[in-house]
C-alpha cells in the first residue's frame, strides 16, 4: 500500500480549464517524483465540471483515479458568500492511505529530492507559510472590533497561534497563516472535515472579510484544531513564478499560475519539463 495519496483537480470550467494543467502535474510527478513517482493520485472534479473523455482516459492511463464530487451548488452556504472551494471538497475524498497531499493543479514538480522529503514526513499537517504575503485584515495593529481573524478563531473554538510574521508589502505585523497551494496531512485525525466545516462557518458568519482567502484562513484554523504536530514548509515548496522568476526553476515545486508561455520560453529544453502532454 502507498503511504500517501496525492489529490488535485481536473475540472473543465469556463473561467479556468484545469484539464491541461492536470495532465502536466501528473506527468511531472511520474517523471520527477523519485521513489514516489508511482504513488496514488486522485483527480477530482465537480459533477457539472467533468473533464473531457480524452483527458479522463489520459489520467487513467497515467495511473490516476478520476473522482466526480458533489455539484458546485451543493457547496453553497447561507448569505452572499461564495461556495466552498474545490480544493477543500477534493481534500475530503475518502482514501485508504495514511497521508494525503493536496496540490494545486497549476504546479509542477521539479526537484526530486525535496519532493521525496515532503512525502517522507510524519507530521500531522505541513504547508508553506505566507511570510511574503498576508491577509490585510489580519494585521495585529487593527482595533479589536475590526480583527476578523480573531473572530474566526473564536468561531472555531481555537486559540490563535502565538507565531507572528511581518507582512511583505507594508511591513506590518500579522498573524501567521498557511498557504493552501500544497497541504500534506495525516488522515484519520479529522483535518479535512475540519477544513471544510470551518470554511463553511466562516463563509456563513456574515463577516464582510469572509470572502478574502477564506480557504487559507480555514486551513490554518483546521490545522490548529486537529494537529498535534505541524510544520511550516519553506517557500521552495510553493515557488511562485510571478515572484521568483528564473529562480523558480531550481525549486521543489513550481507554481506557474497561468504563466505557461513565459516559462516555456525561459526554460527552453529543460529535460525535467514537458508542457504538452
Is 14 a domain residue?
yes
- Please give the residue range of the domain that contains residue 216: 131-177+190-228
Q: What percent of the chain has pLDDT over 70?
A: 83
Q: Are residues 116 and 140 in the same domain?
A: no
Is 267 a domain residue?
yes
Q: Are residues 152 and 214 in the same domain?
A: yes
Is 184 a domain residue?
no
More confident call, 146 vs 216: 216
Is 182 a domain residue?
no
Residues in the chain: 277
pTM of the model as a whole? 0.90
pLDDT at residue 1 is higher than 80: no
Which tens digit of pLDDT belongs to each residue from 128-140?
Answer: 987 655 566 667 7
The pLDDT, as a whole number, for residue 4 is 97
Nine cell digits for residue 178: 498557511
Which tens digit of pLDDT belongs to each residue from 27-74?
Answer: 999 999 999 999 999 999 988 889 999 999 999 999 999 999 877 665
Distance, C-alpha 5 to centroid of its chain: 14
Structural domains of the chain, count:
2
C-alpha to C-alpha distances, 144 to 37, 138, 269, nearest whole angstrom? 48, 11, 54
| Average model confidence (pLDDT) across the chain | 85
The pLDDT, as a whole number, for residue 32 is 95
**Element (H or E) spanning 22, and its range?**
helix 19-32
Which tens digit of pLDDT belongs to each residue from 243-261?
Answer: 666 677 777 899 988 778 7
Q: Are residues 44 and 156 in the same domain?
A: no
- Going by C-alpha positions, the residue among 248, 276, 269, 8 that lies closest to residue 110 is 248
Three-state secondary structure of 225-268: HHCCCEEEECHHHHEEHHHHHHHHHHCCEEECCCCHHHHHHHHC
Count of beta carbons in the 10 Å neighbourhood of residue 269 = 5
Is 183 a domain residue?
no
Burial state string for 102-138 with b = 16 or more CB within 10 A and e = fewer than 16: bbbbbbbbbbbebbeebbebeebbbbbbbeebbbebb
Q: Are residues 96 and 1 in the same domain?
A: yes
Which tens digit of pLDDT belongs to each residue from 96-108?
Answer: 999 999 999 999 9
Q: How far apart are CA 120 and CA 98, in angstroms?
A: 12
pLDDT at residue 76 is higher than 60: no
Q: Are residues 195 and 96 in the same domain?
A: no
Establish how many alpha carbons lie within 13 A of residue 212's alpha carbon, considering only the half-sphere containing its beta carbon: 12
End-to-end, the C-alpha distance of the chain in Å comes to 28
Is 60 a domain residue?
yes
Q: Which residue has the cell 474545490?
A: 86
- Going by C-alpha positions, the residue among 239, 155, 144, 234 that lies closest to residue 197 is 155
Q: What percent of the chain has pLDDT over 90?
A: 47
The pLDDT, as a whole number, for residue 174 is 75
Q: Are residues 4 and 105 in the same domain?
A: yes
pLDDT at residue 24 is higher than 80: yes
Q: Taking a C-beta distance cutoff of 8 angstroms, is the pair 124, 195 a contact?
A: no
The pLDDT, as a whole number, for residue 149 is 76
The pLDDT, as a whole number, for residue 275 is 86
Which tens digit of pLDDT belongs to each residue from 176-224?
Answer: 788 899 999 999 999 999 999 998 888 877 777 666 667 888 998 999 9
Amino acid at each position: 500500500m502507498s503511504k500517501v495519496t496525492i489529490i488535485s483537480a481536473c475540472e473543465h470550467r469556463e473561467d479556468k480549464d484545469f484539464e491541461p494543467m492536470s495532465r502536466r502535474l501528473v506527468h511531472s510527478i511520474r517523471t520527477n517524483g523519485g521513489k514516489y513517482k508511482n504513488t496514488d493520485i486522485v483527480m477530482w472534479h465537480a459533477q457539472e465540471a467533468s473533464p473531457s473523455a480524452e483527458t479522463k482516459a489520459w489520467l487513467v492511463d497515467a495511473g490516476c483515479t478520476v473522482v466526480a464530487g458533489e455539484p458546485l451548488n451543493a457547496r453553497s452556504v447561507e448569505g452572499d458568500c461564495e461556495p466552498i472551494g474545490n480544493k477543500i471538497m477534493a481534500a475530503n475524498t475518502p482514501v485508504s492511505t495514511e497521508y494525503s497531499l493536496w496540490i494545486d493543479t497549476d504546479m509542477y514538480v521539479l526537484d526530486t529530492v525535496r519532493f521525496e522529503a515532503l512525502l517522507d514526513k510524519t507530521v500531522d499537517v505541513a504547508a508553506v507559510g505566507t511570510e511574503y504575503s498576508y491577509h490585510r485584515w489580519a494585521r495585529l495593529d487593527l482595533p479589536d472590533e475590526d480583527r476578523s481573524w480573531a473572530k474566526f478563531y473564536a468561531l472555531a473554538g481555537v486559540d490563535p497561534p502565538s507565531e507572528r510574521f511581518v507582512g511583505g508589502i507594508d511591513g506590518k505585523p500579522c498573524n501567521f497563516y498557511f498557504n493552501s497551494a500544497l497541504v500534506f496531512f495525516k488522515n484519520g485525525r479529522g483535518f479535512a472535515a475540519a477544513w471544510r466545516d470551518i470554511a463553511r462557518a466562516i463563509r456563513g458568519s456574515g463577516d464582510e472579510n469572509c470572502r478574502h482567502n477564506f480557504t487559507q484562513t480555514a486551513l490554518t484554523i483546521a490545522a490548529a484544531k486537529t494537529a498535534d504536530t505541524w510544520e511550516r514548509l519553506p517557500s521552495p515548496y510553493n515557488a511562485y513564478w510571478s515572484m521568483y522568476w528564473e529562480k523558480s526553476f531550481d525549486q521543489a515545486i513550481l507554481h506557474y499560475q497561468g504563466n505557461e508561455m513565459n516559462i516555456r520560453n525561459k526554460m527552453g529544453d529543460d529535460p525535467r519539463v514537458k508542457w504538452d502532454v
